[in-house]
């Protein structure tokens, strides 16, 4: 099955169809299994209350973007960081870190922030190839700092607490953002001799903060409800939609009623992609389980090493390679059922292990040839993918990932503080 799946991918078939067809061909060859299994598994995989959060967070992100939230956040970040060398590059990263608290999607953040920041940075003379690479890399912070669609999917597969994973993502997301800013400051600001801007006064910062205050309050409301137990992740998604609608239509008045059908259509399209992948991956995963793929991976790792630290490193290397060829959601759905039992066997903290897997797969979304965020940033900047400067950002993100991997308290501190037994 894996061979047919890889062949279909190499032929350019969308990953959802490649998984579905490869799995269906395998099921057809199994004499003891009816083809009725396929529609049953497809339906059962989507009959999940936690997964209902996905369309709500996607819709909330669309409403936030249409309501002028991105522009106000850029203005706020610019007021704070204008005095730094390469200020717009820093603004790009910080805006992604703040926007991460709304949509939970790297794709949504890349489109929303890229459409604002890439033209602005090009106009100020920043190299387009650098601008596209930075935007693609910074958008990966979206599913790490909560809320996170990737964590919701992981929780639906494993039964882990989504709230605990949300808390576990805070510090790693901030660390990756700081790592990108460090690279910009130490390497690129010197390389291109970017000048410092004039430092904003307190009145200007206060004015920008007032303009972005309602946007900055959204993550507090969303996460506060989940952490305190008032809402589930799905219910928090509903709250996010209502809040985003109120801000965009009533407060900022930037969303005319006639534009709402377009917003709903965009949200439906952006929801359909991961949902289709989830459905097709369910039957694909069932076949992998039937063929004891988990046992095979376990045997391979055990034959190489029994050291948990080395096993961690090998898992990261494997997922980084996988990320170059398989879309992020599909990679989660294929490998989490395989790796989660293995992580338990090796004694890894489940929340820490979840964050390591999610971050590793997200890094893959900016690596060619399949990296979706890379394609989006390339399209907005009109720079060929082969010319986009992305590998330095991948390197710094992998370095931060390794620190997070071997210093687990960076992930486990907040969950243990809030969810202490």
- Mean pLDDT over 258-275 rounds to 89
pLDDT digits (tens, 9 = 90+) for 148-174: 889 998 998 898 988 899 999 999 999
Domain-located, residue 4 = no
What is the pLDDT, as a whole number, of residue 353? 96
* Containing structural domain, residue 358: 37-418
> Which contiguous run of DSSP H or E holds residue 194?
none
Give the rounded percent of residues in the chain with a pLDDT score beyond 90: 30
pLDDT digits (tens, 9 = 90+) for 321-356: 888 878 788 888 888 988 998 888 888 999 999 999
What is the pLDDT, as a whole number, of residue 31? 64
Domain-located, residue 23 = no
Domain-located, residue 136 = yes
Domain-located, residue 220 = yes
What is the pLDDT, as a whole number, of residue 310? 92
pLDDT surpasses 80 at 230: yes
Confidence of residue 262 (pLDDT cuts 50, 70, 90): very high
Confidence of residue 18 (pLDDT cuts 50, 70, 90): confident
Single out the residue of 392, 386, 372, 388 nearest to residue 129, CA to CA. Answer: 388
Q: Exposed/middle/buried for 405, CB within 10 Å: 0-12, 13-18, 19+? A: buried
Total number of domains in the chain:
1
pLDDT surpasses 80 at 181: yes
Single out the residue of 322, 229, 336, 344 nearest to residue 293, CA to CA. Answer: 336
Rounded to an integer, what distance in angstroms lies between the CA atom of residue 111 and that of residue 125?
Answer: 21
- Mean pLDDT over 388-412 rounds to 95
What is the pLDDT, as a whole number, of residue 60? 87
Domain-located, residue 6 = no
What is the pLDDT, as a whole number, of residue 420? 66
Look up residue 185 and give its two tokens.
Answer: 């400051």
Domain-located, residue 17 = no
Provide the terminal-to-terminal Cα distance of the chain, rounded to the nearest Å.
43
**More confident: 43 or 139:** 139
Domain-located, residue 31 = no
Single out the residue of 338, 354, 335 nearest to residue 298, CA to CA. Answer: 338
HSE of 289, CA atoms in CB hemisphere, 13 A: 14
Domain-located, residue 22 = no
What is the pLDDT, as a whole number, of residue 391? 93
pLDDT surpasses 60 at 410: yes
What is the pLDDT, as a whole number, of residue 406? 95
pLDDT digits (tens, 9 = 90+) for 4-17: 887 887 787 888 88
**More confident: 215 or 119:** 119
pLDDT surpasses 60 at 361: yes
Give the rounded percent of residues in the chain with a pLDDT score beyond 70: 99
**More confident: 32 or 246:** 246
Confidence of residue 225 (pLDDT cuts 50, 70, 90): confident
Single out the residue of 404, 351, 413, 408 nearest to residue 164, CA to CA. Answer: 351
Model-level pTM? Answer: 0.87
pLDDT digits (tens, 9 = 90+) for 290-309: 777 767 777 888 788 888 89
What is the pLDDT, as a whole number, of residue 179? 96
Cβ–Cβ < 8 Å for 177, 141: yes
- Mean pLDDT over 304-322 rounds to 89
What is the pLDDT, as a whole number, of residue 294? 67
């Amino acid at each position: 099955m894996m061979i047919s799946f890889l062949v279909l991918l190499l032929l350019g078939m969308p990953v959802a169809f490649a998984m579905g067809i490869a799995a269906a061909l395998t099921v057809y060859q199994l004499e003891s299994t009816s083809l009725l299994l396929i529609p049953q598994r497809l339906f059962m995989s989507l009959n999940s209350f936690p997964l209902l959060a996905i369309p709500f967070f996607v819709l909330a992100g669309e409403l936030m973007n249409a309501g002028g939230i991105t522009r106000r956040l850029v203005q706020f970040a610019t007021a704070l960081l204008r005095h730094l060398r390469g200020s717009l590059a820093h603004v790009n990263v910080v805006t992604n870190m703040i926007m991460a608290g709304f949509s939970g999607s790297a794709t949504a953040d890349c489109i929303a922030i890229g459409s604002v920041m890439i033209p602005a940075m090009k106009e100020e003379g920043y190299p387009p190839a650098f601008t596209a690479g930075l935007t693609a890399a910074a958008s990966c912070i979206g599913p790490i700092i909560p809320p996170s669609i990737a964590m919701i999917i992981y929780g639906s597969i494993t039964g882990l607490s989504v709230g605990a994973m949300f808390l576990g993502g805070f510090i790693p997301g901030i660390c990756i953002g700081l790592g990108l800013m460090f690279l910009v400051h130490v390497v690129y600001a010197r390389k291109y001799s970017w000048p410092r801007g004039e430092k904003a006064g307190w009145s200007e910062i206060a004015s920008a903060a007032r303009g972005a205050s309602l946007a900055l309050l959204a993550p507090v409301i969303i996460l506060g409800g989940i952490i305190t137990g008032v809402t589930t992740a799905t219910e928090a998604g509903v709250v996010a939609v209502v809040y985003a609608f109120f801000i965009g239509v009533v407060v900022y008045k930037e969303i005319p009623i006639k534009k709402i059908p377009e917003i709903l259509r965009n949200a439906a399209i952006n929801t359909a992609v991961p949902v289709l992948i989830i459905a097709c991956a369910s039957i694909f995963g069932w076949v992998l389980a039937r063929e004891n793929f988990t046992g095979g991976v376990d045997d391979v790792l055990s034959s190489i090493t029994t050291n948990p630290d080395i096993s961690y490193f090998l898992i990261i290397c494997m997922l980084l390679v996988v990320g170059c060829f398989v879309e992020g959601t599909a990679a989660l759905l294929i490998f989490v059922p395989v790796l989660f039992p293995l992580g338990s066997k090796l004694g890894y903290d489940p929340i820490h292990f979840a964050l390591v897997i999610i971050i590793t797969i997200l890094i893959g979304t900016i690596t060619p040839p399949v990296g979706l965020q890379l394609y989006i940033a390339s399209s907005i900047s009109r720079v060929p993918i082969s010319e986009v400067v992305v590998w330095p950002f991948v390197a710094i993100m992998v370095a931060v990932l390794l620190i997070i991997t071997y210093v687990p308290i960076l992930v486990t501190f907040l969950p243990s503080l809030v969810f202490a037994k």
